[in-house]
Every structure is written in structure tokens, then in C-alpha cells.
Amino acid sequence: LSNQGDHAFVAPGSGDRRGPCPGLNAMANHNYFPHNGIGTIADFIEGCQAAFGMGVDLATFLAIYGAIFDGDLTSYSIGGPSPSLPLVGGLLGQPQGLSGSHNKYESDTSPVYGDLYQYGNNVLQLSQFKSLYELGQTNGDSVDLGVLTNWRAQRFQQSISENPYFFYAPFSGTIVSSAAYTFIYRFMANHTAENPEGVLDGETLKSFYGVTGDYPNFSHQQGHEKFPDNWYKRNPVDAYTIPYLTLDATAMQLQHLEFLPVGGNTGTVNSFTGVDPSNLTGGVFNAQNLLEGNNAVCFAVQAALQMAPDLLKPLVSDVGAAVSQLSSAVGSVTSELSCPQLTQFDDSQFSQFPGFTKLKADGTY
């Protein structure tokens, strides 16, 4: 992938937005996405395909989802709110961008970013990066899915034991948290002719996270993520699609059943309480069938749709139009995965979790 000429690294300026997704930050820094960090749905779809080999189905769903919950229904910021994104008709407030999307898109238990309640969700924690780097070094300088699955289990337990507001939501937990880990290997790995499956070594990982220096004396410059030299993206014939992500997420969940139930801490550390999916979904999904086939992803995307009206009320005046747009995107996913249909969702089950109830519309506590 070119990181020279038109795609040479250009550091973000004071008005440019960068956020909690290293891949999107790198795309903006290398002109695979608007440099100011604010893009249309088409910008996200085209950029993710061109830079990383993301499948058009996955890129389209994530772009539309982000535009609805984090933007003005047609575009959004990869970081925080920006005055350059005008307040268009139908919006009740300034779109908060990806950095303000906690529980809707961005989630606790990030690989290298801190939990929102503890640190703010937009700050890379060098201690977490160092731990992930070390796991890769002990694996022959290779951060693969096995390493990432183990690291996710450690981070999940860390959130339980350190964050009293830890909340693991249906979509941002079950799906986005899974993707936050699988994307590291599936998209950041160097897919050379010798290693078409991809190899992600420590130096490549550092570049994608804007980390410099030699172990253990790392430093980090916010928003300075880079595409490495001599780096090859996924082959387009092996695009990372929704079914591909579903397989990866399910494999992780089968290894660590704690990744599956939604729930959270109830205001103190080590108080994690899961919610029975049967109570949430009127019996459509339960603890047993969530482990079957594509059901975990089916549950998550349809839960997002069922919760959308309440989540969107503070953001848009025409909730129906936004929900209709989301319904179309979710319908494409559920059709592709042959999902059981979910028609009700009882989010009053989440009233015991301050990580859910105390979150403000701007994505802060």
C-alpha cells in the first residue's frame, strides 16, 4: 500500500479530528480518507476497502451505523465533534463523532485505549500497548488471533476488577469489542506473497498505533498513526466480510464464554452481573442458542435496531427516518446471516448498570 506521494504521512493539524480507531486515524493521515477526519458514508466505505481490504458489506454497515449514531445521518467524525460539521436540519445537537459514541459504537475493554469512566476513551494507555506488545514477542514477534484472544480475556477481567462503571452492551460489546481485537490482526498484518495470511510483528503494530521508541521505553503521539513501509493490505479477493467477522467473533466467544453475555458492574468493582438474553429478547435468543451459528451477531445487530429509538431521541428530531435507515442496513446483515427475527427488546434490564444509566447523550459520564 502506498505511503508516499499523494499518500505520504501528514500529521493532523489543530482542527483535524482523530479518535479511538487507529485504522481510521491512519487512513486520514495518509489521504485514504479526508484529512480533517470527517467523512461521508461513501468516504468510509471506499477508504476501508482501498486501505485495508474490508468487505463492502462490512464497510457499508459500519459506515451507515456510524453516520446514524455519531453524525448527521450522512457523515461523521472519526474523533470528537467538529464545528466544520454543520448543524443540519433534524439534529437536536452537535454530532459527537466516534469519540462520543460510548455504548453505541465504542466500548469498554478496548485493546489499548482506556475505559471511558477511568481514563476517557480517546487516550491510548501505554501500559496496555506494552502488555499486548509483550504477548506478541513471546509468540515469536507475532500478534495473531490467539494472542489477541488471550489479551481480550485479560482486558475483560481488568475492566471488571478496575472499572465500577464497566458496561458490556449488546452491539458495542458483543460485536464492536470483538472487532476491535480481530481487526488488529485481520487488517494490520502484513499480507506479503510469502505470508498471504498475514504476519503482524511488533514494529508494524507500533506504526499503526503511533508508538515510537524501543521496548520498554515507548512513547505515543496522539493521532499520529501511520501505514508502515513495505506493507501489503489484504488481497481484495480475500476481503474481510460480515460472515468472516462472525466466524472470528464466534471462535473467540466459544473459547471465552464471558465474551458473550451482556451486562456490567453495578457501581462497584468486581460486581459484574450478566443479563439473561432470553429476558432481553422475549425468548428469541437464550444462553444456549447464542452459541449456535451466527446467532451472537444476529442478536447484537438486531438489539442495536431495537434500542435505536431511545438512543436516538436526544440526537435527532425525526427518529423514524433514522431508524428506517438503520433498519435497512440491519436487514442486509440479517438476510446475509439468515438470522432469527427479533421484534422486541427489554433494555429496562440494564437499569442496574450505572455504565448504562448514567451515560449522557454526549457520550460522557
220, β-bridge pairs: 211
| Identity of residue 289 | N
My answer on whether omega of the bond before 277 falls inside 30° of 0, hence cis, is: no
Q: Of 44, 12, 38, nearest to 94 (Cα)?
A: 38
Inside any domain, residue 332? yes
58: cell is 462490512
CATH number of residue 46's parent domain: 1.10.489.10
On whether residue 363 sits in a domain, the answer given is no
CA gap 193, 250 in Å, rounded = 28
- In Å, what is the CA distance from 283 to each residue of 184, 264, 289, 350? 34, 21, 10, 17
Condensed to tens digits (0 to 9), the pLDDT of residues 265-297 reads: 999 999 999 999 999 999 999 999 999 999 999
Per-residue confidence (pLDDT) for residue 122, from 0 to 100 = 86
Give domain status of residue 159, yes or no: yes
**d(Cα 187, Cα 233) in Å, to the nearest integer?**
7
Q: What are phi and psi of 360, to 5 degrees?
A: -85, 165
pLDDT above 70 (res 207): yes
Q: What is the mean pLDDT of the chain?
A: 96
pLDDT recorded at residue 249:
97
Cell numbers for 146: 490467539
What is the per-residue pLDDT for 130? 99
Report the candidate in 132, 114, 113, 156 with the shortest Cα–Cα distance to residue 258: 156
Residue 305 near residue 104 (C-beta atoms within 8 A): no
Q: Looking at the predicted structure, is the pLDDT value of residue 105 above 80?
A: yes
pLDDT value of residue 86: 59
Residue 107 lies in a domain: yes
Name the band, by pLDDT with cuts 50, 70 and 90, for residue 91: confident
Residue 182 — very low, low, confident or very high, per pLDDT cuts 50/70/90?
Answer: very high
Residue 365 lies in a domain: no
Closest CA to 161 of 92, 233, 109: 109
In a domain, 362, yes or no: no
The pLDDT tens digits of the residues spanning 117-159 come to 999 988 999 999 999 999 999 999 999 999 999 999 999 999 9
What total number of domains does the chain contain?
1
Count CB neighbours of 324 within 10 A: 10
Indicate whether 88 pLDDT > 80. no
Give the model's confidence band at 317: pLDDT under 50 very low, under 70 low, under 90 confident, else very high: confident
% of the chain with per-residue pLDDT over 90: 93
pTM higher than the cut 0.85: yes
Residue 195, pLDDT > 80, answer: yes
Q: Which domain holds residue 128?
A: 5-357
What confidence tier does 89 reach under pLDDT thresholds 50, 70, 90? low
Does residue 90 carry a pLDDT above 90?
A: no
pLDDT at 20: 96
Give residue 92's pLDDT band: very low, low, confident or very high (50, 70, 90).
confident
- The average pLDDT across 218-225 equals 97
Beta bridge partners of 273: 264
Q: Which comes out higher in pLDDT, residue 84 or 148?
A: 148
Does residue 20 sit within a domain?
yes
- The answer to whether 328 and 290 have CB atoms below 8 angstroms apart is no
Q: Which three three-digit cell numbers place residue 117?
A: 469512566
pLDDT band at 84 (very low <50, low <70, confident <90, very high): low
Lowest model confidence (mean pLDDT) among 76-80, 93-97, 359-363: 93-97
